[in-house]
């Protein structure tokens, strides 16, 4: 199977959405989600649109989730970046006089190289030099209130800490990644292997 459709859209490409948060602590479940991503990607015959949310609301809280790890599996030379930032970031940039910098992006993957007139990396660099465009009326800078800082979940743990997990049992923290809502701990649980746990959701207790 494959190449059934000329154009395919894949959405929600953030760690925590796709792959789903519940799959990120299990290598087997993560592998299954990666297989699903592969199935979706290979349905596209000419173009594949990949999108992600700069902010996503869940359980009454807005969260900034990192880019899906599945994005790194796609070769850079077939990606044509069409949009660097969300509408919210564009408004902030206008309100702050162009001082705001964003790394959010939405790519179009074109399997046929002849459909692009310039290398994707060059297009991305040129787009970064252009001022943000937005049809919305900019808000005054004084009306914008930055969101509250995320709790420092990662400060509760250090590499080498002994911890207990409700499902996996006793383990040892071997690495810490990210900060705030995106903080992740890699924990070695011995016989059950090393798990990658999002700290704000993981039932993890320091011993």
Q: pLDDT of 136-157, one tens digit each?
A: 444 444 445 555 665 777 788 9
Give bridge partners of residue 172 from the DSSP assignment: 162, 188
Maximum alpha-carbon separation in the chain: 58
pTM score: 0.47
Cβ within 8 Å of residue 139, ≥6 positions away: 91, 94, 95
Asked if 5 and 46 count as a contact pair (C-beta separation under 8 A), the reply is: no
Q: pLDDT of 147-193, one tens digit each?
A: 566 577 778 899 999 999 888 889 999 999 888 778 888 899 988 78
Using the structure block, give the residue that is written with the tokens 């310039």: 118
The pLDDT of residue 174 is 93
Report the distance separating Cα 178 and Cα 10, nearest Å: 25
Q: Model confidence at 135, in pLDDT bands (50, 70, 90)? A: very low
Rg (CA), the chain: 20
Q: Which helix (H) or strand (E) holds 28?
A: helix 27-41
- Tell me the pLDDT of the chain averaged across its residues: 75
């Amino acid at each position: 199977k494959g190449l059934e459709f000329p154009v395919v859209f894949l959405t929600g490409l953030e760690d925590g959405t796709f792959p789903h948060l519940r799959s990120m602590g299990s290598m087997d479940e993560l592998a299954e989600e990666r297989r699903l991503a592969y199935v979706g990607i290979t349905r596209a015959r000419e173009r594949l649109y990949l999108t992600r949310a700069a902010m996503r609301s869940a359980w009454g809280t807005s969260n900034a989730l990192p880019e899906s790890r599945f994005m790194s599996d796609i070769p850079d030379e077939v990606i044509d970046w069409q949009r660097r930032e969300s509408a919210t970031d564009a408004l902030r940039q206008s309100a702050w006089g162009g001082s705001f910098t964003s790394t959010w992006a939405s790519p179009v993957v074109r399997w046929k190289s002849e459909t692009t007139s310039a290398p994707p990396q060059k297009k991305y660099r040129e787009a970064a030099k252009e001022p943000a465009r937005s049809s919305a009326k900019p808000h005054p800078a004084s009306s914008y209130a930055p969101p509250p800082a995320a709790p420092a979940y990662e400060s509760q743990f250090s590499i080498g800490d002994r911890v207990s997990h409700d499902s996996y049992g006793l383990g040892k923290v071997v690495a810490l990644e990210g900060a705030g809502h995106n903080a992740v701990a890699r924990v070695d649980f011995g016989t059950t292997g090393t798990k990658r746990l999002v700290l704000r959701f993981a039932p993890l207790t320091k011993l």
